[in-house]
Amino acid sequence: MTEQPHIVDSHCHLDFPDFAEELPDVIARARAAGVMRMVTICTRLRNVPQVRAIAEAHEGVFFAAGTHPMSAAEEPMARIEDLVALAQHPKFVGIGETGLDYHYSADSAAVQQESLRLHIEAARQTGLPLIIHARDADDDMARILSEEHRAGAFGCVMHCFSSSAELAAAALDLGFYLSMSGIAAFPRSGALREIFAAAPLDRILVETDSPYLAPPPHRGRRNEPAYTAHTAKVGAEVFGLSLADFAAATSANFDRLFTRAAA
């Protein structure tokens, strides 16, 4: 029997209430689907203890933390020294998610930008990758990332990428990665799949962003890490590869970026 390809869910939210009653089962289903490693993301720094505990309790689960842009105006401003201190934990693998989201919260654009720049500096100081959320803010996002990268290099993934081809090109030019979520598997996401197809294979990751954005055949229901396998199948088709080859390529990409969680 052919061994099942190993896939990485590079971005999920295992601390969310959606999983509270069955987290061990969720992780077991992920492993049964070939998803052997997961990064669970803390979006409000006050929730770090809960997220850290999940990573500590489960093999193959790592964590990252930051202030989500949609919460930037509600939460205390992140401090670089606090983010750097989190990096002392061996299972802490990334800074964020941070970024810009003007879809619902454009009124806090200035606060979001300040928060983003603080997270970037923490990524520089720790050597850990930045995890970026970008929605309806392509011009400012490309500008800030370019400005900051010129001031000092850092690694980065554009998580759940669903923005423009122009922002994709800007990110790739800086050496960043694009992460493919369930959105790329939606039937009407042909233009997004073309953006991924034009990108170098060695800059692609896969994720769920669960509990959100479940790919077909689970669209409209709660997402979970096991469903990364469905997105990976679509990714394999986009790049004209077997699932095994695409899983191996994206896992190698994950190892290169998220060095602390490398297999």
Q: Which residues, listed in sequence order, are joined to residue 61 by a DSSP beta bridge?
A: 38
Q: Are strands 35-42 and 177-180 parallel, antiparallel or unpaired?
A: unpaired
Q: What is the CATH number of the domain that holds 58?
A: 3.20.20.140
Residue-wise pLDDT tens for the chain (263 aa)? 457 899 999 999 999 999 998 999 999 999 999 999 999 999 999 999 999 999 999 999 999 999 999 999 999 999 999 999 999 999 999 999 999 999 989 999 999 999 999 999 999 999 999 999 999 999 999 999 999 999 999 999 999 999 999 999 999 999 999 999 999 999 999 999 999 999 999 999 999 999 999 999 999 999 999 999 999 999 999 999 999 999 999 999 999 999 999 97
The answer to whether the annotation marks 89 as part of a ligand binding site is no
- 1 falls within a domain: no
- 2 falls within a domain: no
Picking from 15, 28, 22, the residue whose alpha carbon sits closest to that of residue 60 is: 28
Kindly provide the residue ranges of all beta strands, DSSP E only, lying in the chain, ordered along the sequence: 7-12, 35-42, 61-65, 92-101, 130-135, 156-158, 177-180, 204-206
Structure tokens at 35: 């998803």
Q: pTM of this prediction?
A: 0.96
What domain range includes position 111?
A: 7-261
The answer to whether the annotation marks 218 as part of a ligand binding site is no
SS3 at position 192: helix
- 225 falls within a domain: yes
- What is the layout of strands, in order, in the sheet containing 35-42? 7-12, 35-42, 61-65, 92-101, 130-135, 156-158, 177-180, 204-206
Task: Look at residue 2 in the predicted model and tell me its pLDDT.
Answer: 57
- 207 falls within a domain: yes
The answer to whether the annotation marks 13 as part of a ligand binding site is yes
The answer to whether the annotation marks 159 as part of a ligand binding site is yes
Q: What is the tally of structural domains in the chain?
A: 1
The answer to whether the annotation marks 97 as part of a ligand binding site is yes
Structure tokens at 71: 């919460």
